[in-house]
């Protein structure tokens, strides 16, 4: 099976404000595609459109060559999972109860969970380091613990497409690296399509198989870190002068910002 998620000529926005303009890109199974762009460049909007949270004004999103608008809500949920940047938590469910809801697309909203569901949830809790705190109430978690709970729920959902909006936000370094390694491993082992947004360019370089640069409502470059991490493209994306160096151990490209005012003295003596 050749899994893929493709945005074709996608134009969408909110009311009169256009956020994406005829954007086309395809995410493939077995790779992590990282979306990069300045604030407001449309990364979240693109993820929402890919998850059918937003109806495109023009163009379409194809899941294995089929328009996602044609899928029923449960079928879409079995195949595509979206973890938004922030989530509400009004009631004190336990972590385990929250993660079990990731099984709803498979089990439906009425039938009791099966042992197979609990097994899935077990795996998801283990891979996010939450198994020892499953009884904790979600209303009492730190921001990072809550992010991991949401990720665990997305894993329990067992979708072939994982859309993650800033999965590392609010996590300390260990969990940032853990999350990125985990989703990359899952992408390869289970041939998942993974699309995520990041703010850390150097993590994108290390963990992104391909990187999409978004600026001014459009896709300005798509390729491996080697291909798109050029001083020129990064400056176009973020509006900040940078220089590209090499990772001392892996020799992947790293982005180092320069002070905007080239003639001035260095920011700190």
Interacting residues with other proteins (CB under 8 A): 48, 51, 53, 73-78, 80-84, 87-94, 97-98, 101-102, 104-105, 109-110, 137, 150, 157
Least CB distance to other proteins at residue 218 (A): 25
Closest CB to other proteins among residues 159, 225: 159
Q: How far is the CB of 120 from other proteins (least distance, A)?
A: 14
For the CB of residue 102, give the shortest distance to other proteins in the complex, in Å: 7
Nearest to other proteins of 51, 233 (CB atom): 51
Q: Closest separation between CB of residue 115 and other proteins, Å?
A: 13
Count the neighbouring beta carbons within 10 Å of the beta carbon of residue 45: 22
Q: Indicate the residue among 92 and 239 with the shorter CB distance to other proteins.
A: 92
Give the residue with the Cβ less far from other proteins, 83 or 128.
83
Residue 196 near residue 183 (C-beta atoms within 8 A): yes
């Amino acid at each position: 099976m050749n899994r893929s998620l493709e945005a074709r000529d996608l134009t969408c926005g909110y009311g009169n404000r256009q956020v994406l303009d005829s954007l086309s890109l395809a995410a493939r199974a077995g790779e992590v595609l990282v979306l990069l762009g300045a604030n407001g460049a449309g990364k979240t909007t693109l993820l929402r459109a890919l998850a059918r949270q937003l109806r495109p004004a023009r163009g379409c999103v194809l899941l294995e060559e089929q328009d996602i608008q044609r899928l029923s809500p449960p079928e879409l949920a079995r195949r595509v999972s979206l973890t938004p940047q922030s989530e509400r938590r009004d009631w004190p469910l336990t972590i385990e109860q929250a993660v079990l809801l990731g099984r709803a697309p498979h089990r439906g909203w009425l039938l009791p969970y099966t042992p197979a569901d609990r097994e899935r949830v077990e795996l998801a809790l283990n891979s996010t380091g939450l198994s020892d705190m499953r009884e904790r109430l979600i209303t009492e978690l730190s921001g990072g613990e809550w992010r991991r709970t949401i990720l665990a729920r997305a894993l329990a959902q067992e979708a072939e497409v994982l859309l993650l909006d800033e999965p590392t936000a609010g996590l300390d370094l260990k969990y940032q690296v853990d999350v990125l390694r985990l989703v990359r491993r899952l992408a390869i082992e289970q041939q998942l399509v993974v699309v995520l947004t990041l703010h850390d360019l150097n993590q994108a370089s290390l963990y992104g198989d391909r990187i999409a640069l978004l600026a001014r409502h459009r896709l300005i470059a798509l390729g491996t870190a080697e291909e798109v991490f050029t001083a020129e493209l990064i400056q176009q994306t973020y509006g900040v002068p940078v220089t590209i160096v090499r990772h001392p151990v892996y020799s992947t490209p790293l982005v180092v910002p320069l002070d905007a005012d080239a003639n001035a003295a260095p920011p700190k003596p």
